[in-house]
Amino acid sequence: MQILRATPDSRCAALSFAAALALVFLVHAVPAHAQTFRGAIRGTVSDGTGAVLPGVSITVTSSDTGLERTRVTDQGGAYVAPELPIGDYSVTASLSGFKSQTVEHVTVEVAVAQRIDLQLAVGSFSDTVTVTAGGSLVQRTGDTLGGTIAATDIAALPINGRDFTKLATAIRPDRLAPSASTAIAAAPTTICSTAPT
């Protein structure tokens, strides 16, 4: 029986090969971007003069499920309610010495941080001002592209067979309708990708 021993040259060659192989994998690795099927609501709370209000209690409530999240504004009067399931929400701001303000029908969409800035008026804490949110045409809070496509729209795509990879190449983000028009559709399927950098 013969025992083979590694020589310094063979160890160096094996180590060089392993390093080269690792380098090839690192160079050809495709960066994975985070994908989400949720959205967020963010904003700033100020008083009638425009001064920011820290310590304001913000309650975000889903009209669809009753999910409730409570946040408190920071020293700059800002708040963020992240990772909200898509749907219709109301946002309520309250602080002692000010009238509470509620914004209803805030639509949270896939991968979108909806901006809702609130302005509280001086008054009784029990008084509430209710505002209905309007749709924003331009997303100014991020560079993420996302949307919701109804199952009926996917079924209508000209895809031969059941190969899901053909679905991914058939959908072009520049041809997607705004999420607000399709978010109400039954049995939605969510597709999200980040914008090119």
- The domain that contains 73 carries what CATH number? 2.60.40.1120
Are both 113 and 169 inside the same structural domain?
no
Q: What is the pLDDT of residues 18-49, one digit of tens each?
A: 777 777 666 665 554 556 688 999 999 999 89
Are both 64 and 115 inside the same structural domain?
yes
Are both 47 and 124 inside the same structural domain?
yes
Tell me which H or E stretch contains 16. helix 8-28
pLDDT category of residue 8 using cuts at 50, 70 and 90: low
Position 54 in a domain: yes
| CA gap 14, 174 in Å, rounded | 49
Predicted model pTM: 0.55
Are both 82 and 117 inside the same structural domain?
yes
φ, ψ for residue 80, nearest 5 deg: -140, 130
Question: What are the Cα distances from residue 107, in Å, to 14, 31, 60, 63, 127?
Answer: 58, 31, 12, 10, 25
pLDDT category of residue 76 using cuts at 50, 70 and 90: very high
- Contact between 101 and 131 under an 8 Å Cβ cutoff? The reply is yes
Are both 110 and 149 inside the same structural domain?
no
Q: What number of CA atoms fall less than 13 Å from residue 83's CA on the CB side?
A: 3
Are both 118 and 179 inside the same structural domain?
no
At position 21, the amino acid (one-letter code) is L
Best mean pLDDT range from 108-112, 147-151, 184-188: 108-112
- What domain range is 155 assigned to? 144-194
Position 102 in a domain: yes
Are both 123 and 162 inside the same structural domain?
no
Within 10 Å of residue 86's Cβ, how many Cβ atoms? Answer: 22
Position 14 in a domain: no
Are both 83 and 167 inside the same structural domain?
no
Please tell me the total count of domains within the chain. Answer: 2
Position 26 in a domain: no
Within 10 Å of residue 36's Cβ, how many Cβ atoms? Answer: 16
Q: Check residue 96 and give left, alpha or beta (phi > 0: left; psi -120 to 50: alpha).
A: beta
Are both 160 and 114 inside the same structural domain?
no
Position 12 in a domain: no
Indicate the average pLDDT of the chain: 74
Show which of 108, 132, 156 is a domain's final residue: 132
